[in-house]
Amino acid sequence: MEHIILFSVVAALVPFSSALFGAKSDVIQLTPEVFQDKVVKSDAVWLVEFYAPWCGHCKSLAPEWDKAATALKGVVKVGAVDADQHSSLGGQFGVKGFPTIKIFGLDKNKPQDYQGQRTAQAIVDKGLEVAKQVVKDRLGGKKGSGGGSSGGKKTDGGGGGGGGGGKNAVVELTDSNFEDLVYNSKEPWLVEFFAPWCGHCKNLAPEFERAAGELKGQFKLGALDATAHTATAGGFGVRGYPTLKYFPAGSSGSSSAEEYGGGRTSADIVRWCSEKVEDQLPPPEVNEIINDAVLKGACEDSPLCIVTVLPHILDTGAEGRNDYLKILLELGDKYKKRSWGWVWTEAGKQQKLEDVLGFGGFGYPALAAINSRKKKIAVFKGSFSRDGLEEFMRAVAVGRGATETLRGDSLPTVDTVEPWDGKDGELPVEEDIDLSDFDMDDDDTGKDEL
């Protein structure tokens, strides 16, 4: 897994029974309730670690992260998020494994991944480097997204959820703009139908507003006064307040609306919406390794890549090969939220790659999960079936199971080959031998008959 360290360490005081940092630690423990105000709206540079209390790598990092926080105190803020407990916050920043470290510099809406060493010195050096760059950018006239802003510009209508006003992260919807803004939008929408006098709506307003700020750029949140804009509200059969409805990206009409099924806190709303975004992701492609760009693109641009070597086409035929590829496509779809790369090749076509992965002795198909940054691999040694592979993928997804070091310093440069044409294999045509070219008569000279 790709583990990233955030240089701005943010924390809201929470019980430390499940945290890795003590009450006297300079690491700031962060939660979804305070993250927006403390980190996103801050002028400070932040290094933030997303961790899980049970994660062994996180436990190993903790003392170094603690030292870095103390050294950077007053210069760069260092924080930590229990992403196991606050999964919605981790999902918002694409956290797939632990620990993940992100750096919040000048533009808090575009944090960077930390990919340096896991030592206090390396973390401190990176924090100072980012802080210095922020100062230079400010001298050059650049402005960031922090500094007490609401996390975004005023949106259309400037409405607040639940009639509660707000900081304009929630879009005000009306009978006249609803279809133009919500239908055929490139972003999904969560719309609250409220009444100004409704007590539950007033309670929801600040939570809805906070969620809208956290989801900015990936999900639109809107609010419609159902007592004033009765045509739209009536079209959706709104009978009580607040009523929340979800509209997927590209919705073409009222039939696209779905009931919201989450809780009423900002964390609940962000978690529910983040899951909807992930559900709509297209499944990854399972590409044949026909050149080096395909392999490097899958393995170097992803936290993990799944490399499969399928039997020769003469051994399976097109139907058998497609059956194997179907399994890989189904697994890719199931684990698409992990952003893994998926590639395959035919046995013998990329021998250098097979040698590096240590394939051999198990037959084909052969499969391995590769972390190219850590130079670690996990080789699948079970039955190449849906059930067997699912068990292996589950272990890989949570960082369990046996791993070994990748042979060599990096993946090899693979050969450029012709892609599979999708057809059955053909045996090579053997050249006919003309027996007339040979003298078939026995040479009896000098031989005695028995």
In the annotation, is 299 catalytic?
no
8-state DSSP, 380: E
Task: Please state, in angstroms and rounded to a whole number, the distance separating the CA atoms of residues 442 and 208.
Answer: 99
Among 218, 308, 214, 220, smallest CA distance to 270 is for 214
- On whether the CB atoms of residues 19 and 29 are closer than 8 A, the answer is yes
Task: Please state, in angstroms and rounded to a whole number, the distance separating the CA atoms of residues 46 and 279.
Answer: 30
In the three-class reduction of DSSP (H, G, I as helix; E, B as strand; rest coil), residue 104 is classed as strand
Residues sharing a CB contact under 8 Å with residue 41, sequence separation 6 or more, in sequence order: 108, 146, 147, 148, 149, 150, 151
Backbone angles phi, psi at 135, to 5 degrees: -60, -45
Structure tokens at 116: 């340096």
In the three-class reduction of DSSP (H, G, I as helix; E, B as strand; rest coil), residue 11 is classed as strand
Among 17, 18, 4, smallest CA distance to 61 is for 4
Q: How far is CA 138 from CA 44, 116, 129, 179, in A?
A: 12, 25, 14, 41
DSSP codes, 212-251: HHHTTTT-EEEEEETTT-HHHHHHTT--SSSEEEEE-TT-
- On whether the CB atoms of residues 257 and 270 are closer than 8 A, the answer is no
- Active-site annotation holder among 58, 273, 299, 305: 58
- Active-site annotation holder among 201, 273, 299, 305: 201
Structure tokens at 360: 């051999």
Greatest alpha-carbon span in the chain: 123
Half-sphere exposure of 169 toward its Cβ, with a 13 Å CA cutoff?
23
Active site residue ranges: 55, 58, 198, 201
